[in-house]
A and B are shown apart, each in its own frame.
Chain A
Amino acid sequence: MSKSIWQKMADVDKRVLYWLLFLLLVVPYLHPLALPVAVQETTLALYKKIETMGPNDIALFSIAGGVSAWAEIAPSMVAVMTHLVTRQIKVVIWGFFTDQDLTVDMIKSKVPDLTTKYKYGTDWVYMGYLAGGETAIAQLASDVHAVFKADKYGTPIDQLPLMQRVKSATDFTLALTVDTGSYILYYIRHWSTAKGTPVAEIGIAMQTEYLPYYPNAGLMAILIGVRGGAEYEKLIGHLGDGTITMDAINVSHLLFIIAIILANVGYVMTRREKK
């Protein structure tokens, strides 16, 4: 028995949807739609905080997201690092993902001022990878020098001028955690709540998990996925990958909404036919 139009709507082969999605995503990259992006309060809070900081302040840039999540977090990372460098804020980078060296290289290539205008060891340092998760973050809050003995390139920590000013969480004006998992909770517990260091999140689209902590329970700002990056690019006037990718994501969501409506209409109508 041949399928009715409603049954066909309810049983579209998923490969058809994937092909459609794949092809539709190409369109905004070829012809940008320039859909408007409104800046949310959670993003604005970080911008305002960094605007109050200057050359005497030190920001932590903690990387807890891998290369696989670049599409989601890279626009925010690049935009925020650009802002930090523009404000001449000192930056300490460390991370918890084994492929984070690639992420640091990507940031250096997209924010060339970090390596050309900044002096390594004095204006910024990269401490490298650290295992240990929450235990390590708790210890870093109390004593950075007890955890790191040398930077990524093997220079002993005592020989890095910037690290002479960094002993514990209280020496940072701002802790930024780039996050695709639960590292933000560790920073909230051990840096924000325990030490009072302002903590901001550069995360994936997981605001349901983060928002309960904003703004009174340990999280002073949140950049939510690509959208957060696009918003931040707008704030600093430096449009980049976030703004372009938002068009593609909007198109993909449109397809998903249409697919959900069609599938549900097909399902309801098929049930009616059977009755």
Chain B
Amino acid sequence: MPYPTDPIVVSGIWAALILTLATYSYVLYKETYAFRFAEHAFMATTFAVAVVVAVQTLASNTYLPLTQGDWSYLIPIILGLLMYTMPFKQYRWIARYPIALIVGVGTGVAIRGAVQAQVVGQVLGAITLPSAPTPINWFNFFFSLIAFVTSTSYFIFTKEHTGLFKYPTKIGRYVLMLALGSYFGNTVLFRMSMLAGRVQDILKVLGIIPF
């Protein structure tokens, strides 16, 4: 892709470069006014975008059906408006109704799918034999199965983790530590990718590497 020539795009990419450097000034030097400005600009922009998108979504998904005569959409609009009683102490109780509805529906929907996908599905996944019987697949199968059983046994609190129960729960604890270590490693990896992306963008804007 050639280097942009449109003045609006050029000013945008340079603004991004300056704000990136301002943001990283925090870790490369210390908290500065530049960092604070970038931080506040980020928050403000994010909020502004969210408001615009929310209005657009309301227009297409609520206003349009209303204009087509579907008056049932007045119900969620009224429930939504009731949420705005929160700042007024005297009328705050009214907001409990839409919140209760959201929490109730959300919980019901999540539980309906979670049992099948995250309990039954996980058990089936753990005991399903590998489709390609290679040594590494068998190793993975047995490792996953042992990790699944032992880490689950760690969360049995009705029986003391002693005697025969001691070793499976201990192995389960190590498995959990491995998983948590992997989570942390992944998080670091994700941040490295983000930093690499910013470095790449800086080099592109400066014209050091092709855009």
Q: Mark A251-264, 1 if CB is under 8 A from B, else 0.
A: 01100100000000
**Which residues on B sit within 8 Å (CB–CB) of A154?**
59-60, 64
Known: A189-B118, A252-B192, A252-B195; 12 extra A-B contacts, CB below 8 A, are: A18-B27, A101-B53, A129-B53, A148-B61, A152-B60, A189-B113, A189-B116, A193-B116, A193-B121, A213-B125, A217-B125, A244-B200
Q: Are A185 and B193 in contact (CB under 8 A)?
A: no
Q: Are A190 and B113 in contact (CB under 8 A)?
A: yes
Question: Is B5 in the interface zone, CB < 8 Å from A?
Answer: no
Interface size of B by CB at 8 A reads: 52
Question: Is A79 in the interface zone, CB < 8 Å from B?
Answer: no
Q: Mark B40-72, 1 if CB is under 8 A from A, else 0.
A: 000000100110011011011100110000000
Bound-state CA distance A69–B190 (Å) is 9
Q: Mark A37-71, 1 if CB is under 8 A from B, else 0.
A: 00000000000000000000000000000001111
In the complex, 7 of the A-B residue pairs with CB atoms within 8 angstroms, ordered by the A residue number, are A29-B199, A30-B208, A71-B193, A72-B194, A128-B60, A129-B57, A193-B117
The segment from A130-138, A160-168, A266-274 found at the interface with B is A130-138
Question: Is B177 in the interface zone, CB < 8 Å from A?
Answer: no
Question: Is A204 in the interface zone, CB < 8 Å from B?
Answer: yes
Question: Is B124 in the interface zone, CB < 8 Å from A?
Answer: yes
Interface residues of B (CB under 8 A from A): 1, 24, 27-29, 46, 49-50, 53-54, 56-57, 59-61, 64-65, 105-106, 109-110, 112-114, 116-118, 121-122, 124-125, 128, 131, 179, 182-183, 186, 188-190, 192-200, 203, 208-209
The interface size bin for chain A is 35 or more
Question: Which of B28, B60, B61, B110 is in CB contact (< 8 Å) with A134?
Answer: B110
Closest 10 pairs between A and B when the two form their complex, measured CB to CB:
A71-B197, A189-B113, A217-B125, A217-B121, A248-B196, A205-B189, A72-B193, A193-B117, A98-B53, A216-B125
Q: Mark A203-241, 1 if CB is under 8 A from B, else 0.
A: 011111100110111100000011000000000000001
Q: How far is the CB of A224 from chain B (nearest CB, A)?
A: 9
Q: Are A72 and B197 in contact (CB under 8 A)?
A: yes
Question: Which of A99, A101, A216, A245 is in CB contact (< 8 Å) with B128?
Answer: A216
Q: Are B106 and A128 in contact (CB under 8 A)?
A: no
Q: How far is the CB of B176 from chain A (nearest CB, A)?
A: 11
Q: Are A248 and B200 in contact (CB under 8 A)?
A: yes
Q: Are A206 and B117 in contact (CB under 8 A)?
A: no
Question: Is A21 in the interface zone, CB < 8 Å from B?
Answer: yes
Q: A167-185: which have CB < 8 Å to B?
A: 185
Closest A residue to B192 by CB, please name it. Answer: A252
Interface residues of A (CB under 8 A from B): 14-15, 18-19, 21-22, 25-26, 29-30, 68-72, 74, 98-99, 101, 109, 128-131, 133-135, 138, 147-152, 154, 156, 185-186, 188-190, 192-194, 204-209, 212-213, 215-218, 225-226, 241, 244-245, 248-249, 252-253, 256
> Residue among A14, A68, A218, A244 with the most chain B CB within 10 A?
A218
Q: Are A98 and B49 in contact (CB under 8 A)?
A: yes
**Which residues on B sit within 8 Å (CB–CB) of A131?**
54, 57
Q: Are A109 and B1 in contact (CB under 8 A)?
A: yes
Q: How far is the CB of A233 from chain B (nearest CB, A)?
A: 15
Q: Are B50 and A98 in contact (CB under 8 A)?
A: yes
Q: Are B183 and A208 in contact (CB under 8 A)?
A: yes
**Which residues on B sit within 8 Å (CB–CB) of A206?**
183, 186, 190
> Residue among B29, B53, B203 with the most chain A CB within 10 A?
B53
Q: Are A205 and B190 in contact (CB under 8 A)?
A: yes
Bound-state CA distance A195–B118 (Å) is 15
Question: Which of A14, A22, A133 is in CB contact (< 8 Å) with B199?
Answer: A22
> Residue among B105, B109, B116 with the most chain A CB within 10 A?
B109
Bound-state CA distance A69–B106 (Å) is 27
Q: How far is the CB of B62 from chain A (nearest CB, A)?
A: 8
